[in-house]
Structure 1
C-alpha cells in the first residue's frame, strides 16, 4: 500500500529508462566488435540475421543504435569470413532468428551451406519454407519445429540423420518421406501437422 501511494504521489520518468547501455550494440554481429577473436564455432546461439537498415532505424527513432561503419576492404571481408568459421561447428542453435526479410533468409542459408561438420542443429521458429538446396552431410539431430514446411521435399539433404523434429509445421502428406528410407533415422516427430489426420497415418 505504501509503494502504491509513493508511485501515485511521484510519477516515475520512464523516458530515461527506454535506452539501455547495450542498445548501441544490439544490431552488431560479434565480429564487428573490437578487441576479440571469437570464432563462429565457439558460439552456441549466435544471431545470424542482419539488423534493419540505417534508414529504418532512423524512422523507428533508434538514433542511438546508429554508428559509423567503415567500408571493409577485400582482405577485411576475407578475415571476417574466416572468423565466422562455420565449417568447424559441431553443435549450433540458430533458433528464433526473426528472419523478417528475404535478405536475412538468404544470409541464414549462406551460413547453413557452410555447416559441413555440424552434427546437432536447431532451427526452431524461423519461418523457413524450403531448404532443399542445403546439404548437411554429418547432421545427426535436426530440430525444425514451428516453421512453414509443407512437404518432405523441402527438407535439406540429411544422409546421416538419426533424430528429426518437424512438429508444428504444415506438412499435409507423407509423400517424399521415402527420401529418408536410406538414412539411419531413429525418431521422427510430426506432431501438430495436418498429416496426422490422414487415414492409416501411423501405419504409413
Structure 2
C-alpha cells in the first residue's frame, strides 16, 4: 500500500502551510497517511480518494467539516484536537469507517458520548480503542441503560 508520514512538519508560516496543502492535494494514491502534530486547521479542500488510514492526532481541527474528503476511510484518528461537536459525524456515515479515535477532544465529555457516536455511525466497530459494547447501542435515557456497569 501507499504509505506516507508527513508528521511533525513545522507549519507555523502561512506560506509553508499553503505549500503543504498543495502537496496533500496531489496524494491521490496514498492509502495510509500520518499527519501528526502539524497544527492543521482545515483540510476540507483536500481529497484523498484511496486513503483508508488517516492519523490527524494532535492538530488544531475544531470540526469534522475540516477533514479532507476520504470516501474509503476505515481507520481515522482525531485524538488531541479541538472537536467539540458530534453533529458533523453524519458526514462520515457513507464511508466504510470501522475505527474512530476522538479521545482528548472536548466532544468526549458530552453526555452519552459513545452511544451518540455509534448511533451516528452504525458501521463503526471501535471507538477510542474500545470495541463497540452492548450498552453503546442503548440510549442512556432508556431504563435498560441503568442495568449496565462499564469498568474501563
TM-score, with structure 1 as normaliser: 0.56
Q: Deviations over 1:124-146 (max 9, x none)?
A: 00000000011000000000000
Question: Do structure 1's residue 202 and structure 2's residue 104 form an aligned pair?
Answer: no
- SS of residue matched to 2:76: strand
Does the CA contact (< 8 Å) of 1:151 and 1:175 recur in 2?
Answer: no
- Match for residue 176 of structure 1 among 82, 88, 104: 88
TM-score, with structure 2 as normaliser: 0.75
Gaps of 5+ in 1: 1-88
* Matches of 1:134 and 1:167, distance apart in 2: 20
Q: Which residue of 2 aligns with 1:101?
A: 13
Q: Which residue of 1 aligns with 2:51?
A: 139
* Matches of 2:87 and 2:61, distance apart in 1: 13
Aligned CA RMSD, in angstroms, stands at 0.9
- Match for residue 29 of structure 2 among 117, 122, 142: 117
Gaps of 5+ in 2: 117-152
Which protein shows a greater Rg?
1
- Match for residue 74 of structure 2 among 162, 168, 193: 162
Higher relative contact order (CA 8 A, sep 6+): 2
| Length, aligned pairs only | 116
The runs of 4+ residues in structure 1 deviating greater than 3 Å are none
Higher strand share: 2
